[in-house]
Amino acid sequence: MIGRAAAAGKREGASQSRTGWLDQYKAWLTHHRLSAADSMLRVMDNPLSSAMTWLVIGIALALPTGLNVALDNVSQLSASWDSPAQISLFLHDGISDQRARDLQEELSGRPDIAQAVFVSREDALEEFRALSGFAQVLDSLDSNPLPHLLLVSPADRAGQSGVVALRAELEESPDVAQAVLDMEWLQRLNSLMGLGRRLVWAVAGLLVVGVLLILGNTIRLAIESRREEIVIVKLVGGSNAFVRRPFLYTGLWYGVGGGLFAALLVSASLWYLRQPVSELALLYQSEFQLRGLGIMGGLNLIILGGLLGLAGAWLAVSRHLADIQPR
Amino acid sequence: MISFDRVGKRYAEGHDALREVSVEINRDELVFITGHSGAGKTTLLRMIMLMERPTRGQVTVDGQNLAAVSARGIPRHRRNIGVVFQNHRLLLDRTVFDNVALPLVIAGYDHREVGRRVRAALDKVGLLDRERALPVTLSGGEQQRVGIARAVVGKPKILLADEPTGNLDPALSAEIMQLFEEFNQVGVTVLIASHDLALISRLRHRIITLREGRLVSGSAQ
């Protein structure tokens, strides 16, 4: 529909008649510009109700985005504890240093093992003495109770089942008393996070549907409030595309605004959490820093909002605009 | 220019709005359609601009059989016809200028061309100094003239008017009719539905009379 923005540049008097597709294209472009500006003005005309719509969309988008950012942070944290797993081989008591070193070399040479570190029982005792605070108790012992230890890191490509198989195979070795797969809890954490991701996606899917419905309803109300105008435009030869355009832009602006609100909400919550998270990390001697949405994340959110806005508007427009015919 | 060939319109509830209407309207003609309310005047006009389709017979406008115009083709068809409504049907939140500019904006004219043509049309109806006004600040006669300016701004070949003087006093009505005559003189085919017999019989143009959906006089010049 003709925008109030059409007033701009109207005062020029020179005549120029239109011919050909180039002018048609220009006119099409002009109407897009006018529709976009006019829809923007209409959205801005009702700052309170528009802000409510933005906020509703913003919250709906911020919830899954925030959860996703949280999961990203957790996975970043767990990645820093070198994964994926480590197998501790406790050797039989009678194994000599030399035999243990041979075994270490043999294991290091295997393609499915990235690294094998030998911790002799003497080293282990020293380390235990230093860290545990039981030095006096240990001194009172007649002999070293600790076995030789080989720390085996499987190759990255081994995969979870490969690591489990490897552990079983190593335990069969006659020199090995016990093979313990460490970090099982980390794998549990990883599966939990996989589950969390799925839940986030499910929540996101539901909320996206919600956003579409909210936008669709908002646009439907906008269409209703301009029913008479639509009838008049159709009477003087406005096509469906012409009538549709301003409403699609209205949806776009609601969506873009909602995306912007979502980005702000997520950033604000992260900012709010940053200080306590750093303090907590410090207590665990970690350099961990809360990672935010980033500029690209924010932009993506705004683009996503815009696309949802367009989709919601399209939904409403295709359902309601065809019903409005001049009577 | 406009031809009705044995056109009938029966509504779903069985009421016949038009029955067996055949009439030819030539290029450059100004024709009045009269009859009591409910006689079918408005239905006739609505068929020309494809707000309604006949249940029988065939309507041809400017060589185009309207039965062949699809729903998608309706906007294009309407852009070639100027229409004046009894209740004006102006956009009340837009200025006079924007109202008159609407058909040109829809047709995709360059904004300089829009400005030039809108001013020419407003000048023609004597409202050039009110282009910034909102329709509600205008009198009924002025609003009707805005409606006329909007109808002619796209230089249509056909101008339809449904009771254009319905709410106006005799002096204003005569002025409005004179405007229509002026457009007719520059080559526009004009079709006016009116029940103001006293006014239209003074104007010496063909008068088509409808009664209960049938054409009773004026089928040929």
* Structure token digits, residue A232: 């008049």
Contact B53, B67 (CB under 8 A): yes
- Residue A7 — very low, low, confident or very high, per pLDDT cuts 50/70/90? very low
Per-position b or e across B94-116, b if 16+ CB within 10 A of its CB: bbbbbbbbbbbbbbbbbbbbbbb
Regarding whether A198 and A76 lie in a shared domain, the answer is yes
Residue A241 belongs to domain spanning: 29-80+188-320
The CATH number of residue B28's host domain is: 3.40.50.300
* Same domain, yes or no: A264 and A166: no
- Residue A79, pLDDT > 70, answer no
Q: Which of A103-107, A124-128, A134-138, B172-176 has the lowest mean pLDDT?
A: A134-138
Measure CB to CB from residue B102 to each of A28, A233, A326 and give the nearest one. Answer: A233
pLDDT at A180: 82
Q: What is the CATH number of the domain that holds A166?
A: 3.30.70.3040
Residue type, position B7, single letter = V
Same-domain check for residues A241 and A198: yes
Q: Which residue of A has its CA nearest to B47?
A: A327
Contact residues, B window 112-141, toward A, CB-based 8 Å cutoff:
112-116
Contact A315, A250 (CB under 8 A): no
A193 shares its domain with A315: yes
Q: Do A232 and B89 touch (CB under 8 A)?
A: yes
Residue range A221-277, pLDDT digits in tens = 989 988 989 999 999 988 888 999 999 999 999 999 999 999 999 999 988 988 888
Residue A3 falls within a domain, yes or no?
A: no
Structural domain count of chain B:
1
Q: Is A23 a member of any domain?
A: no
Flag whether A20 is in a domain.
Answer: no
Of the residues A155, A182, A209, which one is the last residue of a structural domain?
A: A182
Within-domain flag for B151: no
Does residue B20 belong to any structural domain of this protein?
A: yes
Structural domain boundaries enclosing B218: 1-80+157-165+189-221
Distance between CA B135 and CA B143 in Å, rounded? Answer: 6
Mean pLDDT of A125-134: 78
Supply the angle between the helices A227-235 and A184-225 in degrees, to the nearest 10.
70
Task: Report yes or no on B13 lying in a domain.
Answer: yes
| Residue B166 touches partner A, C-beta closer than 8 Å | no
For residues B179 and B148, give the distance between their C-alpha atoms in angstroms, rounded to a whole number. Answer: 9
Q: Do A296 and A264 reside in the same domain of the chain?
A: yes
Residue A49 lies in a domain: yes
Instruction: Judge whether B183 lies within some domain.
Output: no
Sign of the C-alpha dihedral, residues A160, A166, A169, A170? negative
A4 assigned to some structural domain: no
Shared domain for A53 and A73, answered yes or no, is: yes
A326 in any annotated domain: no
Q: What is the pLDDT of residues A26-66, one digit of tens each?
A: 878 888 888 899 889 988 888 898 999 999 999 999 999 99
Classified as helix, coil or strand, B210 is strand
Report if residue B161 sits inside a domain: yes
Residue A5 lies in a domain: no
Contact between chains at B109 and A34 (C-beta distance less than 8 A): no
Regarding whether A313 and A263 lie in a shared domain, the answer is yes
In this structure, the answer to whether residues A247 and A175 fall within a common structural domain is no
Does B179 reside within a domain?
Answer: no
By DSSP bridging, strand B189-193 and strand B206-211 are unpaired
Q: Which of A13-22, A118-127, B84-93, B160-169 has the lowest mean pLDDT?
A: A13-22
Query: Please, are residues A87 and A166 in contact by the beta-carbon 8 Å criterion?
Result: yes
A 10-49: CB under 8 A from B: 10-18, 23-24, 26-28, 30-31, 34
Asked if A220 and A177 sit in the same domain, the reply is: no
In a domain, B121, yes or no: no
Domain boundary among A163, A182, A201: A182
Specify whether A76 is located in the same domain as A201. Answer: yes
Residue A251 lies in a domain: yes
The pLDDT of residue A287 is above 80: no
Rounded mean pLDDT of chain A? 82
Angstrom distance (rounded) from CA A294 to CA A302: 13
Residue contact A12–B111, C-beta within 8 A: yes
B43-81 pLDDT, tens digit per residue, is: 999 999 999 999 999 999 998 999 999 988 999 999 999
Instruction: Mark which of A182, A214, A236 sits at the end of a domain.
Output: A182
Residues A38 and A149 in one domain: no
pTM for the model? 0.73
Confidence of residue A109 (pLDDT cuts 50, 70, 90): confident
Residues A170 and A196 placed together within one structural domain of the fold: no
